[in-house]
Homo-oligomer: A and B are copies of this chain.
Amino acid sequence: MNIEKKVINTMRTLSVDMIEKANSGHPGAPLGCAPMMFVLMCKIMIFNPSYPLWKERDRFIMSNGHGCALLYSILYLLGYNYTIEDLQNFRQLHSKTPGHPEFNPSLGIEISTGPLGQGIANGVGMAIASKKLGLNNYVYVMCGDGCLMEGVSYESTSLAGHLGLNNLIILYDDNKITIDGSTDLTFTENTKDRFIAMHWNVLEVEDGDNDINDIYNKLILAKSSVDKPTIIFIRTTIGYGSLLAGKNSCHGAPLGVENTKKLKQYLGLDENKYFFVDEDVKEYFKVFKKEKNINSNIDSEILQKDNIINELNIIKKLEKNYATRESSGMCLNIFAKYIENIIIGSADLGESNKTFVKTDIIGKYLHYGIREHAMCSIANGISTYDIIPVVSTFLVFITYCLAPIRMAALSNHKVIYIFTHDSILLGEDGPTHQPIESLTILRSIPNLLTIRPCDTKEVCGTYEIALEHNGPIAMIFTRQTISNIVNSDSEKIKYGAYIIYEPKQKIDLIIISTGSEVSIALDTIYFLEKEYKMNVRLISMPCTQLYDMQSNKYKENILPKNIKKISIEAGSTLGWYKYADYVYGIDRFGESGKMNDLKEKFGITVDSFSKFILDILNYIS
């Protein structure tokens, strides 16, 4: 057996041994993909395991993340910071080798994958980022049938073809098998023609199980593309070499002791050795060097924070009432002016989301098209290059973006989401466009900041948080003009919640509110003060997650236990019981109508809210 074949087979047996030991995992893909992975990583890609964060390195994404045993195997062999024990701890708690790849560039994991299709769109994002930074690297994505069936793959590859991303190369593990059986069951489109229609180069390797030279040649050819991304159809056999080869049954379950032994026999390796790497294989990786110039000329950006803050301070002083989406537009233009590494875009709602930036700012705006899902997945890829992606659509359409938003939260990618048209008060477009549950959904996602400011000052504060925050942040803005609040505070919103109105007398009640409902709450308080001599504190709580992080002392100070609290927000109340004794909101779908008619109908008025409060107080007393 020549050494290359032996390396490949060692990758295969390492992977299978990992899965056997864990008694859990997916052997099918590693057995089929080992040859392409070998050629790609050992002969094509430029990187340095000793300097894994070198900026201009080629990137690899395993979009079929369930096959990660193979990825860990080769990263180990290449000299990334894995030991054989790490491989033996595959899929165990606290191991370096979890069940799907988890974002950790130091360990060669360029992005988290698992939910199918995401990796392809992540790769499009990385390829865009490389272009923006003027890097000369390539982004390689390995994927399977599942990835190509997912809508996000079409959305993102359509955009990639449109943009002519010649630095993007997909290795498609074309094994004709999905979990439920043959692709003949469901997936018979002419995939090659599909990619040609999307302006991609399409190459093919007929025998991906054995023909290493062909894989190599096609990758070289792909790298020479002038103006198109490339997909290489690599025909493989799922579970290659095992008794289950070619069958869906080897996708997601360990082979078992006997089948593993037989596999090793077939591959010409010792059936009685486990996690075995022979000396010549070790030698191969010793000789094999990836020493490239790791000194990149790409400097990290020095953020002009002072300039940004200075200009935001001007915005804060504007007295005119704006829709918060408009205030956001002003702040975003400041970001665009002073941040070099930023890519702003919208899913075809730039004017509505107020995310268009001045046209003299070159290279900072990206038209995503009507592709919300791809937009957010691409943003995750962009963020791995330390470029800040700002993406936008209507709030209700987070339903299209939730998979990549969750991945951003999981991997702590710095992505800024601008979601406008934030309640039924957007009016006539009706219930398909009116968010009800959207804020609750966003707030339920761990590690995602969701901020809904109540006026221009709070919008500026939100942008200041976004500037500093090292992770994903969803900024929620109104369509409609709302009133500036006297005591709103761009500093205090960093606590997530603060006292925005305090009565002169002893407090009877506390109202908690966010966004456009703060001014309604304030008017209600004025009314109750005047008519009923009530003393009500108002808390602006634009960000529940930031509030949760505060000290008990701070919390007790603004929301003392012994005083009754009522929340008001024009949306689902489900999440508000955490902070309030009584909740006021909208727990049904909206309707099409004029904003003011909707306010009346859904009770987002001083009249209706004050009646609710008076009822409660009667009930309490």
Q: How far is the CB of A350 from chain B (nearest CB, A)?
A: 5
Using known A-B contacts A428-B91, A437-B446, A444-B437, determine if residue A162 contacts B180 with beta carbons closer than 8 Å. Answer: no
| A110 interface residue (CB < 8 Å to B) | no
CA distance A93 to B565 in the complex (A): 32
B179 and A348 contacting across the interface, CB-CB below 8 Å = yes
- Nearest CB in chain B: distance from A438 CB, A: 9
Enumerate chain B residues within 8 angstroms of A180, measured Cβ to Cβ. Answer: 346, 348-351, 367
CA distance A116 to B114 in the complex (A): 26
Q: Is A414 on the interface with B (CB-CB < 8 A)?
A: no
Smallest CB–CB gap between A407 and chain B, Å?
7
A196: Cβ under 8 A from any B Cβ? yes
Q: Per-residue 0/1 for A74-114: is the Cβ within 8 Å of any B Cβ (1 yes, 0 no)?
A: 00000000000000000111110011101000000000111
Identify which of residues 338-374 in chain A touch chain B, using a CB-to-CB cut-off of 8 Å. 346, 348-352, 367-374
- Residues in A533-582 with C-beta less than 8 Å from chain B: 572, 574-575, 577-578
Interface flag for A193 (CB, 8 Å): yes
**A616 → chain B closest CB, angstroms:** 15
Contact of A370 (CB < 8 Å), options: B116, B190, B197: B116
Chain B residues near A24: list those with CB within 8 A. Answer: 427-428
Contact code string A424-440 (vs B, CB < 8 Å = 1, else 0): 00011111110011001
| A179 x B368 contact (CB < 8 A) | no
Indicate if the CB atoms of A446 and B150 lie closer than 8 Å: no
Distance in Å: Cβ of A468 to nearest Cβ of chain B: 22
Does any Cβ of B come within 8 Å of A152's Cβ? yes
B399 touches A115 (CB 8 A): yes
In the bound complex, CA of A42 to CA of B8 (Å): 65
Taking the nearest CB of chain B, how far is it from the CB of A26, in angstroms?
9
A151 is an interface residue with CB less than 8 A from chain B: yes
Point out the residues of chain B lying under 8 angstroms from A100, CB to CB: 429-433, 592
Interchain CB contact under 8 A, A95 and B370: no
**Are B437 and A114 in contact, CB atoms less than 8 angstroms apart?**
no
Asked if A410 meets B428 with Cβ closer than 8 Å, knowing A149-B371, A162-B189, A445-B437, the reply is no
Contact, CB under 8 Å: B112 / A369: no
| A397 contacts partner chain B, Cβ-Cβ < 8 Å | yes
Residues of B within 8 A of A154 (CB): 151, 154-155
Query: Any chain B CB within 8 A of the CB of A270?
Result: no
Residues of A in contact with B (beta carbons under 8 Å apart): 22, 24-25, 65-66, 91-95, 98-100, 102, 112-116, 145-146, 149-155, 158-159, 161-162, 178-181, 185-194, 196-199, 346, 348-352, 367-374, 396-400, 402-403, 405-407, 409-410, 427-433, 436-437, 440-441, 443-447, 572, 574-575, 577-578, 587-589, 591-594, 597-598, 601
In the complex, 19 of the A-B residue pairs with CB atoms within 8 angstroms, ordered by the A residue number, are A24-B427, A92-B592, A92-B594, A93-B593, A95-B593, A99-B430, A100-B592, A149-B371, A150-B400, A151-B155, A158-B187, A162-B187, A162-B188, A179-B349, A186-B368, A189-B199, A402-B402, A409-B589, A410-B431
7 extra interchain contacts, Cβ-Cβ under 8 A, other than A399-B405, A410-B589, A577-B578?
A91-B593, A95-B592, A98-B430, A114-B430, A179-B349, A193-B197, A194-B194
